[in-house]
Amino acid sequence: MTTSPDQPDSRPSTPGAPAGPAEPAHEARRISRRAVLGMAGVGLAGAGLAGGFLAGSAAASARDTAPSAGPAEGDGAFAFLGEHQAGITTPVQDSLHFATWDVTTQDRDEVVALLRAWTLAASRMTQGLPAGEFGPMSGPYDAPPDDTGEAEGLPASGLTITFGFGPSFFTAADGSARFGLDGRKPDLLADLPHFPGDMLEDARCGGDLAVQACANDPQVAVHAIRNLARIAFGTASVRWSQLGYGRTSSTTTAQPTPRNLFGFKDGTANITSEESSAIDEHVWVAPGDGADWLAGGSYLVARRIRMTIETWDRAPLREQETIVGRTKGSGAPLSGGEERTEPDFEAAGRGGVPLIDPASHVRLAHPTSNGGARMLRRGYNYTDGSDGLGRLDAGLFFLAYVRDPATQYVPMQNALAKHDLMSEYLRHTGSGIWAVPRGVAEGAMLGGDQGAFVGQELFA
């Protein structure tokens, strides 16, 4: 990410790194250099409302400072503005930094100012620009930089930043409405129930605000969350966060099916961006679904699922494949065929025993076992060191976007928790749900007291 040109009385800038390889054309809407400059060239003072941007002296904040050029065409930058937020149907990147915040202010205007500042910073960082106008090495010399600098010289790396509002954002612990949003919380935005076998840790659950930052470079994803946390100082504090690597699903047919930490292909039947009708049916909230401000958005379900890897690694291959319902090599269903062959749950072997166990993961998670419900998954592997007994704290950070969590997620997870053979090897330790609003419209002006921001319809 390159900094802006040198400013008077400021440190010199460092040139950015060369652009990386191009993404396929169908995977991203490109933004021209001129469009990036126009979007990013708003005043720093507007972003400073959130408390994380420091404008410095009046003279410094008044400078007419144009940021440097955005990333070259070949570095995989995804458009930030658009009908839907990026990071949902976008091709899944290699790395994740997910974080949630608790809002510490009671002032509605301060919350709106934070969202404006976050939107401006996100629009810049996703295009390979520093979070703030001056960058990490320019601006007032006696003020903190408005970008932390660890992504300096790196391209945009396909960064997407996706925002969501949790149930607690709307309702205080005493049941009263927060921020003047009485009657604005969608009925479907309710805390997930405690599923059988859950071992949830409160420190890994919930949050007023959630941000999913995905990129092909882990440092770029970490940089995004770090700068949003810096901007939020004094208005919201990080509740919990999770790093992820090695995506466990694909959202386009151009991506090969990845493997999870059990060594099996994961997400074979995931909804892909090419299935436009399925996305409309299962992912995007429609007008009339109960919250008009959320139309064009979605619901995000997150679950931190620890895998008891050491126990799994001692299970025979036959048992592993029976539990999953697919072969470990090709990923084909045990009823036969190739990876993408539709499972035949009626096929039987010797003695009439079903080739795919009725309690296998594939059978219980399949749409035919869940009233036809599907979801768009964007999960990641995670490894967070080891516990006091020398066992890896590793597993799946499950992320899924759905139009109706009450029918698409809750019944399926209840069935899996009660009957799935795989449950013996899983421990659900984190959980949350957030309403993810539509995107900021193309052509919208960002920054300043009147700039557009993610979730603006909620506060209308």
Q: Is the pLDDT of residue 5 over 50?
A: no
The residue with greater pLDDT, 290 or 228, is 228
**417 C-beta neighbours (distance < 10 Å), count:** 17
**Percent of the chain scoring above 90 in pLDDT:** 82
Rounded average pLDDT over 150-156: 96
Tens of pLDDT, residue by residue over 338-378, are 999 999 999 999 999 999 999 999 999 999 999 999 999 99
pLDDT the model gives residue 75: 65
Is 30 a residue whose pLDDT tops 50?
no
DSSP string, 204-229: GB--SEEEEEEESSHHHHHHHHHHHH
Across the chain, how many H-helices and E-strands are there? Answer: 12, 9
Taking a C-beta distance cutoff of 8 angstroms, is the pair 273, 63 a contact? no
265 strand-pairing partners: 259
Q: Which amino acid is at 177?
A: A
Mean pLDDT of the chain: 87
Q: What average pLDDT does this structure show over 382-407?
A: 96
- Using CA atoms, how far apart are residues 267 and 347, in angstroms rounded to an integer? 22
Confidence (pLDDT) at 76: 82
Nearest to 39 by CA among 162, 125, 142, 123: 123
pLDDT score at 49:
37
Are 71 and 155 in contact, with CB atoms under 8 Å apart?
A: yes
Note the pLDDT of residue 388.
87
* Closest by CA position to 266, among listed 453, 129, 45, 422: 422
Three-state SS at 40 = helix
Q: Lowest-pLDDT range, 12-26, 65-79, 202-216, 323-337?
A: 12-26
Q: Are 82 and 160 contacting, i.e. CB atoms less than 8 angstroms apart?
A: no
| Residue in the structure block whose two tokens are 């995506």 | 247
Token pair belonging to 156: 């945009």
Average pLDDT on 386-394 reads 93
Report the pLDDT value the prediction gives residue 1, as an integer from 0 to 100: 53
CA–CA separation, 212 and 176 (whole Å): 28
Residue 173 region by backbone torsions, left for phi larger than 0, else alpha for psi between -120 and 50, else beta: alpha
Q: Which two tokens stand for residue 306?
A: 């620890």
User: Distance between CA 71 and CA 76 in Å, rounded?
Assistant: 9
Grouping H, G, I as helix, E, B as strand and the rest as coil, residue 432 is strand
Which tens digits make up the pLDDT trace of 84-106? 999 999 999 999 999 999 999 99
| For residue 74, pLDDT beyond 70 | no
Residue with structure tokens 């290699």? 94
- Condensed to tens digits (0 to 9), the pLDDT of residues 300-333 reads 999 999 999 999 999 999 999 999 999 999 999 9
Q: How far apart are CA 128 and CA 377, in angstroms?
A: 26
Q: What residues contact residue 413 under an 8 Å CB cut-off, 6+ apart?
A: 192, 195, 303
* pLDDT reported for residue 26: 38
